[in-house]
Amino acid sequence: MGYQNFKTAVYVTVRDMEWIAAHPEFEEKFAFLEKHIHLDKVYLETYRGQRLIEKEKVLKIKEIFTNKGIKVSGGITTDLSSSWEFQSFCYTKQDHLDRLREIVAYTAELFDEIILDDFYFTNCKCESCIRAKADRSWSEFRTERLKEVTEEIIVKTAKRTNPRVNLIIKYPNWYDDYQSVGYNLREEPLLFDKIYTGTETRDPRYTQQTLQRYLSYFLVRYLENVKPGGNGGGWFDTFDCKYNLGSYAEQCCLTLFAKAREVTLFCLGTLLLRDSIFVSIAGYVFEQVDKFLNELGNPVGIPCYKPYHSSGENYLHSFLGMLGLPLEPYPEFPSGKGLLLLTASAAKDELIVERI
Ligand SMILES: [Zn+2]
C-alpha cells in the first residue's frame, strides 16, 4: 500500500536507462529499493548531454516498470555537456531549436507526462545571442527568449504530438538567480501544466552553493504560491550528503513538511549503485512522516515578499528560517497580512514604498 499523504517518484537518467537496458539483473537490484520504498512513479529520461536514447530501449524499460504497477512519465534534460559543465542550448541558433523540437516530439510520443530537469536555462553568450539581446539586459533578453521558446517549441510541439501530455518544469534550488539565465517565473508557470521544486540543500558549509537547510522547505512554499495547486512536488538528491547522513533525512522531511504532493528522488543509478544507504533512509522517513503529516494542517509563517525576477541578499530567507523564523513567501505583495518580512529583493517592486 502506498503512503497516505504524498506520492513518490524516482528519476531515471539516460545513463541509468542505458544501464538498465544492458543489465538483465536490474530487477534484482531494484528489489532493494522496492523493499524500502513504496514507489508510485518513475520519470524516464530520453535526452541528456547530447544522448537521445533509442525508442526500443525506452519501450522495454517502460514495460518493466508498468508491469510492477509503477506509473511511467518522461524526462528531458536540456543540457549539452557530457558531464557537469552546465552547457545550455543556444536558444537563438536554428539547429539547436530544431534539435529541441525533435527531442520534445519524440518524448511526447512516448509519454503522457514530461518533466524538464533544471537545465532549462541559457548561459550562452555567442555572437548570435549578443545580436538578439541588442539593448536589453541579459535577464530581459533571456527571460523573454525562453518564454517564446517555451510557447513556440516546447508546448506547441508536445501538445500537437500528444494532446493529453502534461508538461512540468522543475525549478532549480538557486531561486535568487533564475532571471539572470532565463528562468521566467512570472510567465512560464502559466504555460506549463505544473511546476516542480528543487529542494536539494546538501552540505550547507563545504559545497559550492552553501545552501541552508531551510531552503528545502522555503522554496516549495514559494513555488506553491507562484502556482497555487500547481506545484507538483519536491526533488532532491544524495549529492554531498555523505558528510552527515541526517542531512539527507532532513531534505526529505522538509520537502514533506512544506506539503509537497510528490517527492522525487534523483536518481535511480545513484540510489542503486553508489549511494544505496540513502534508499533505506528515504524509506524510513517516508514511513515515519506519513504517520502524522495529515495532522499538520497547512503551513503558516510570517508573510514574506519576494517579487518575480528579483534578487537581493542571496538565500537570506533560508538563514532566517534556520534561526527559527517560519516564513511563507509570496511573489505578489501579500496585502492585509499585518506582519511582513521584506528583504532587499522586495526593492525590485518600484511601488514598494507605496505598498508599505
Ligand atoms: Zn547563443
Residue 49: other Cβ atoms inside 10 A: 17
Distance 107 CA to ligand 1 centre (A): 24
Distance 116 CA to ligand 1 centre (A): 20
Residues 73 and 114 placed together within one structural domain of the fold = yes
DSSP annotation of 275: -
Supply the pLDDT for residue 110: 98
Q: What's the CATH code of the domain at 28?
A: 3.20.20.80
d(CA 152, CA 263): 30
- b/e per residue 241-257 (b: at least 16 CB within 10 A): beeeeebbbbbbbbbbb
Residues 183 and 241 placed together within one structural domain of the fold = yes
Residues 223 and 74 placed together within one structural domain of the fold = yes
Distance 215 CA to ligand 1 centre (A): 32
Supply the pLDDT for residue 83: 75
Range of the structural domain that residue 343 is part of = 300-356
Residues 17 and 147 placed together within one structural domain of the fold = yes
Distance 138 CA to ligand 1 centre (A): 12
Distance 182 CA to ligand 1 centre (A): 12
Distance 83 CA to ligand 1 centre (A): 20
Residue 292 falls inside a structural domain: yes
Distance 88 CA to ligand 1 centre (A): 9
Output the nine-digit C-alpha cell for 159: 501538445
Distance 255 CA to ligand 1 centre (A): 35
Residue type, 216: S
Supply the pLDDT for residue 337: 85
Residues 325 and 343 placed together within one structural domain of the fold = yes
Residues 284 and 341 placed together within one structural domain of the fold = no
Distance 146 CA to ligand 1 centre (A): 12
Distance 135 CA to ligand 1 centre (A): 16
Distance 90 CA to ligand 1 centre (A): 4
Q: Sign (positive/negative) of CA torsion 91, 95, 100, 105?
A: positive
Residue type, 337: K
59, burial (CB in 10 Å: exposed 0-12, middle 13-18, buried 19+): exposed
Residues 115 and 196 placed together within one structural domain of the fold = yes
The total of structural domains in the chain comes to 2
Residues 273 and 311 placed together within one structural domain of the fold = no
pLDDT by residue for the chain (356 residues), tens digit each? 799 999 999 999 999 999 999 999 999 999 999 999 999 999 999 999 999 999 999 999 999 999 999 999 999 999 998 777 889 999 999 999 999 999 999 999 999 999 999 999 999 999 999 999 999 999 999 999 999 999 999 999 999 999 999 999 999 999 999 999 999 999 999 999 999 999 999 999 998 899 999 999 999 999 999 999 999 999 999 999 999 999 999 999 999 999 999 999 999 999 999 999 999 999 999 999 999 999 999 999 999 999 999 999 888 999 999 999 999 999 999 998 889 999 999 999 999 999 99
